[in-house]
Amino acid sequence: MRALLARPASLDGLTVGILDISKARGNVFLDRIDERLAALGIGVKRYRKPTFTRVAPTALKQQIAAECDVVIEGLAD
């Protein structure tokens, strides 16, 4: 296990990754988060797991880690 990284003091200049885990209507919530961040001038990249029943593929996790500074993961039903 590793310790969690400290939260950044601000999102200014950072890229926020938004990971949709593919649950029903999760995209509705995440679309709103995307809109709010974009309105603040924060860079956003969107990702989606193939299915909510399994962990994200390693390649997807590596891509997110390489392209983003922080990640929001959302689900809904």
Indicate whether 9 belongs to any domain.
Answer: no
For residue 50, the 8-state DSSP code is S
Indicate whether 8 belongs to any domain.
Answer: no
Question: pLDDT (tens digit, 9 = 90+) per residue, 61-70?
Answer: 999 999 999 9
Tell me the residue type at 45. Answer: K
Indicate whether 55 belongs to any domain.
Answer: yes
What residues are paired with 73 via a beta bridge? 19
The Cα–Cα gap between 66 and 69 comes to 8
Task: Determine the pLDDT at residue 26.
Answer: 86
Containing structural domain, residue 42:
15-74
State what percent of residues in the chain have pLDDT above 90. 71
Question: pLDDT (tens digit, 9 = 90+) per residue, 38-51?
Answer: 999 999 999 999 99
Q: Using 50, 70 and 90 to split pLDDT, how confident is the model at 33?
A: very high
Model-level pTM? 0.86
Q: Using 50, 70 and 90 to split pLDDT, how confident is the model at 76?
A: low
Indicate whether 64 belongs to any domain.
Answer: yes
- What is the domain count for the chain? 1
DSSP SS3 for 69:
coil
Count, in order, helices (H) and strands (E) of the chain. Answer: 2, 3
